[in-house]
Each structure stands twice: as C-alpha cells, then as structure tokens.
Structure 1
Amino acid sequence: MDKIDLSEVCQNYRARVIRVTPLDDCWLLETNRGPKELHVWPRVDVMRWSFAWRERLARQGFRELERFIRTRDSKPYVMVGNQGVTMTDHFRRIESWEPRPATARQCGRVVAMMHLSQQESNLLTGADYLQQEKIKAESEWAHAKALAESYRSKYSKEKGEKRWVGSLLSPLLQRMERAAVLLGHESIPAGELTVSHRDLSSDNWGMVGGKLYLRGFFRPNLSVRQRDVAGFLRDAYLARRDLEEIDAFLDGYEEVKPLDYGEYTLLLAFMARPREVWRSVESYVKRVSENKEAPIEGIEQALRSQQSVDHLLRHIADRAERPRGEQIDEPL
C-alpha cells in the first residue's frame, strides 16, 4: 500500500472521515456520507485518461460504474507528489452476475460504449501499445525457439514422456509464430488502435440494485482494445464452453460499434497465442534440465484447454468471414 498522508488528502473532500481500513489495493473510508474508497494512481496520465472515459460513458447513459468524487474545489482527483489520488463510492454488497446470453449482450454493449469513450482521448497512443504487444510476442517466440533447440539437442533420442514433449515443440512454435505475424497483419486499421485495459475479466462485472455494474480498473495494465475483448471472450469460453454467450456479447458490442475484418483479425491474433501450452511446456523443460521431477499432467490439461480455444477461434473466424451486419440481430 502506498504511503501518503491520508488526513491531508481527506481534507480536500467534503466528507468527514470516521474510520480508515486498508484493503489490498485501496483504503476503505467510513464517512458521514457513506463508505468510500481511496485509490492511489502511480501514473497520473492513466488516472486522467480513466477519469475522462468514465465521465464520457456516464454521459452516454451508463452510470453504473465507479466515478471519481470531486473535491471541495470541484477537482476529480488530488495530487500528492507525483501520484494522483481518487475517491469513489464503495458498495458493501456487489452480487455476482450471471453470464446468460441476455446479460452477455448487455456486457458487449457496455464494453463497446466504454471503448468509444476511450477512443475520444488522445492522452495515450494505441499504436505504441500494439508495438509493445508485437515485441513481446516476437521475444517470447524467439525464447521458445532457443528453448526448443536446446531441448532437442539433449533429448532427441529419449523415449516416453520426453519424446512426447519434444513432438509438441514444432506445432507450438508454429502457433507462436502465427500469432506474432497476425499482430502486424496488413488488414489491421491504424485508426482502430486505441487504448483500453489489457485484462478485462468477469471480476469487472457485478450486480448492484439489480443492475449490471462495471467496476475496477484502478491500476490497469493497458493495451489495445481488441486484446481487452479477446481475453474476456477467451476466459468466458474456457469457463463455460458456451458459444451462444460469445455471440451474444459480440452482437451487443456490434450494435454499438461494428467490428471490421481487421479488428476481427486482431482479436484472433490475441486469442491464438498458445499461452497455457507454452507455459506448461516451458516449466516442464526447465524442470527436466535441472534434473527435477517433471509431471506432464499440466501439459495434458493445457492441451485440452487449447482444443477448446481452437474451437472458439474457428467460430470467431467464421463470424469474421460473414458479410458485415449479417451476424447482428435487430433489437426487439
């Protein structure tokens, strides 16, 4: 938890603080105006960007999210040295949301509205973040090639599990290469490279007063918005294996912001990275090289997950090939 003078910060707000409780990523304040949260932002530019998209989203009509409470001087944040501090309302009870198709469609609409709100900001540059993603993917691929070469030179004549793991290396490298290449595909429109959160997840959603509520993003990792959607859909499908939920989300998204072929390509590029398989194989190879026990159960489980991801990839690729607008149902 960041060390700041809480009493000095709280004096900037109209609320009278009764009790302060440190949480994992913020302070919980009991005040005469109800419970509040105090968040510290290491990056002031990200804080300003976050304030801007939250306000734009609220002006679009979606107010079920954490907005920054203004100070006595009507400022949306307080500066403490090189850091920014924001105050938001705290809800004591946020119920879990049920990812039914109808709810998933609403989530898609809200995410598209959020992305449009973020698109209006020029504080952060999406092209820079895509370049970072490309560099990371290429670096990971190069590391995997070196690891595979070393493993083959030592264990190419082995039998059993070591041989089986060796047989996975070529297709794994091909997938990693393909994912890296897709990130630079010519169909990706430069104008669509705007910044969003890298890790949108089910934890960012809840129900408050019977309404869908968007929360979090106080210390966000950032990337381009297509990674935002790709990660969310990938995790959702691995959790429930429901293509109807996937289509509902994308239908809702495209009601607000249609996706062109290049954006679908970028979605597929982020989904195509064989993350679990690579991590499990990398862990196995390292343990073998250190003469440690190296069970293969993790690799087997990762391969099963990859089969599900492949099914999702094919489904979204088919959707991308349809004429634009065909997959969107007219709202009732």
Structure 2
Amino acid sequence: MTQYLLHDRIKENYDLNIEKWDHYQGSYKLYTNRGIKLVKVWNDNETLSSAFHLREQLAYSGFRTIDRFIRTTSGEPYILNGDEYMVITDWIDGRIPQVTNKDDLKRVSKQIAKLHIGLAKIRVDQDWEPWSKQFDHGLQHLHQIKDKIITKGKKNSFDEAILTHIDSQIEQIKQSILMADKVEKNHFRSGRIPQWCHGNLDLKWFRIDQFDVPWLIHFGIPVYDIPAYDVAKFLVHLYLKANYQEEPVFQFLNTYQEFIPLEKEEKLWILTYITFPHHLWKFLYIRYLSRFSQTRFANEQQYFQLIDLQKHHERLYRSLYRYFQL
C-alpha cells in the first residue's frame, strides 16, 4: 500500500488527519490531529478477531492499561486492504523498564499480577495438554535424535559431543515428567483449572509512561495454560537479564504475591518448568528432526552455550526451592 492510499483509507475509516508518519517493518507510526497512533498489519483474520475480543474482555474485566484496537467510524476493529488487515492503536509513549531499577520491576510485577487477575475472569472453552504429556514429546524427540546419531555412518565432533551429554538430558526430562505428573494430580484435584496466560512475558513488552504507569503493549494471542507458566518464564527472563543475579527474581515474586499468593502446587509448577531443558530440546529438534533442518544455524558452540544456560537454570531452581521453603 502506498502512503497516499494508506492516508485515504485511514481518513475514510477513522476520521483521522495524518500530519506525518514513520514507517517500520509491518507497522506505521502516525502523527494525527488526535495524537500519535500506531498502525499494525495482520495477515490472519481469525487470530486478529481473537486478539481483539480478548483485549476487549480483558479491559472489561478491569485491566485497561493495554494497547486496545481503535474502532472505525462504522464500529469495526480493523480495516481490510487486499489480503492484509490493519488495526490502529494509540501510541503508548514511555520507556522500557529496566531490570536494575527496583521501582520499574515493582510496577511490572504488579502489572503482571493484575493481568492474571483480569485473564482469570475470562471464560475459556479449550482443550489443554498437561505439561507431563508435552514433556514426553520432548523425551521421545531426544531418543530419536540419539538413535539417529548412533546409526550415522561418519560422526563429526558435534555428533560426539551430543552423544556425551544426551543421556543426562534424557534423565532430566524423565525427572521433569515425574514432577509434572505429580503436580498435575494434586493441582487439579483441588479444583484449579488452566486459564489464558500471556505466554511470552518480556520486559520489552512494557512501557512506563510519564505518570509512572506501566502499559502492556504486546498482547497477541495468549496461551491456555497454568498462570504459573507465565511466572516461570518471566523469572527465567529476569534471571538472564540480571546476569544471573537472584535479587530481581525475589523482588518480582515478593510484589507479585502481594496480589496473588502462590500455592504450594504453583510453586512446584514453576520449579518444574525451570528444570526442563527447553532450550536444548528445541535446539536439537531443529537441527535433527525438523522438516527443514537448520544445521547451519545450530553449531557446536551454541550447543555448549545452552548447556551452560541449563546449569544456570539449575542454580535458579535451587535458589527458588529455598525461597519457597518447600
């Protein structure tokens, strides 16, 4: 779409006068007579409609600091241009929170807790595969990879390195499956059910505005899971961003639990997620089993970096085990 056509479509459907714009990959920043707006391009109507309705339900449940879609003058949440769908949101001006800033981390922790409280109010009718089953897929993949390398005629140093470590990774996954299976039985016996979760929480998805209010600016299609999944992924993210320092992790948990105290099973969910070797499994799967093998993107150096990363995860596990007093 040319800028002139874009200008006409937006003026026609949103009654906005564009003074100037900046073009980014897949989006436009618009300076209009009604403030700065952001135009995003979507290719799939089904996911776009789901994202819109979930945003609206989330706002209705009380969580409003999110980039909601602005409706057109006819009440539609998007406009269609050929095969593309375009949505407009307000431009959330602000800074990315910093892991070293305690006030930033406290604001984001509260925001994530409030997000989970809002998401819990949205009714869900969807199947869910327990973690123990998901982990079992990973176990089967590692067995396939091991067999594939063993039967390989000429092995290189990378193959030998994987064979050296893969048995310990298989054992770790087996332990994760046992942990997940035990937690699932206790968790669901108490009446807890999965709900919508963000799925990929990251500090860069937040903006803290001039009034120190944190906004969530990246909310695509959430995942259906245990909310502790979000917490676990975000703890790993914080631990990495803080160069493996524990204090930001504990600070997040202290603030989060002011709003949502974690029960024993939820703490065990978090530990179970952290101990599962996700990165190693995905790395090996992409190299050996994916339809389009990515061997040139998966080298020996990366593999050993992921082994070191898993060791950091194990240290985080031990620290959290003590913190949770389990």
| TM-score after normalising by structure 2 | 0.78
Alpha-carbon offset, residue 309 of structure 1: 0.7
* Equivalent residue for 2:300, pick from 287, 296, 299: 296
Q: Structure 1 stretches (4+) deviating beyond 6 angstroms?
A: 81-84, 157-161, 283-286, 289-294
Q: C-alpha offsets along residues 65-96 of structure 1, whole Å, 9 cap, x if unaligned?
A: 423435446x47246499975432114x5323
Contact 1:234–1:271 (Cα < 8 Å) also in 2: yes
What displacement does 1:160 show? Answer: 7.2
SS of the residue corresponding to residue 87 of structure 1 reads strand
The answer on whether the counterparts of 2:138 and 2:281 sit within 8 Å (CA) in structure 1 is no
CA RMSD of aligned residues (A): 3.7
Equivalent residue number for residue 170 of structure 1: 167
Aligned counterpart, 1:313: 317
Q: Equivalent residues in 2 for 1:138-153 (5 A)? A: 138-153=136-151
Aligned partners of 2:13 and 2:72 also within 8 Å: yes
- SS of 1:11 mapped into structure 2: helix
Q: 1:53 aligns with which of 55, 58, 74?
A: 58
The alpha carbon displacement at 1:153 in A equals: 4.2
Identical positions, percent: 17
Residue ranges of structure 2 left out of the alignment (5+ in a row)? none
* Distance change (3 Å), C-alpha of 1:317 and 1:71: same
- The answer as to 2:199 corresponding to 1:198 is yes
Which whole-Å CA distance do the structure 2 matches of 1:191 and 1:293 have between them?
41
- Stretch of structure 1 that moved more, 265-274 or 132-141: 132-141
Aligned to 1:326: none
Q: Among residues 271, 278, 286, which one is paired with 2:281 in the alignment?
A: 278
Contact 1:187 1:265 in 2 (8 A): no
Gaps of 5+ in 1: 323-332
Q: 1:226–1:263: 8 Å Cα contact kept in structure 2? A: yes
Is 1:267 the counterpart of 2:270? The answer is yes
Deviation at 1:236, TM superposition (A): 1.4
Matches within 5 A, 1:1-332: 7-8=8-9, 10-19=11-20, 21-40=22-41, 42=45, 43=47, 44-58=49-63, 63=65, 65-72=66-73, 75=75, 77-78=77-78, 80=80, 86-91=87-92, 94-99=94-99, 100-122=101-123, 124-125=124-125, 128=127, 130-131=128-129, 135-154=133-152, 162-184=159-181, 185-189=184-188, 191-209=192-210, 211-220=212-221, 222-224=223-225, 225-240=227-242, 241-281=244-284, 296-322=300-326
Larger CA deviation: 142-151 vs 93-102: 93-102
Equivalents in 2 of 1:292, 1:114: separation in Å?
Answer: 39
Deviates more, 1:189-198 or 1:79-88: 79-88
Letter in 2 for 1:95: R
How many angstroms apart in 2 are the aligned matches of 1:66 and 1:139?
36
Q: TM-score, normalised by structure 1?
A: 0.76
User: What displacement does 1:283 show?
Assistant: 6.5
The range that moved more, 247-256 or 312-321, is: 312-321
- Please give the secondary structure, in 2, of the residue aligned with 1:38: strand
Conserved 8 A contact 2:120-2:195: yes
The answer as to whether partners of 2:97 and 2:105 remain within 8 angstroms in 1 is: no
Letter in 2 for 1:191: R
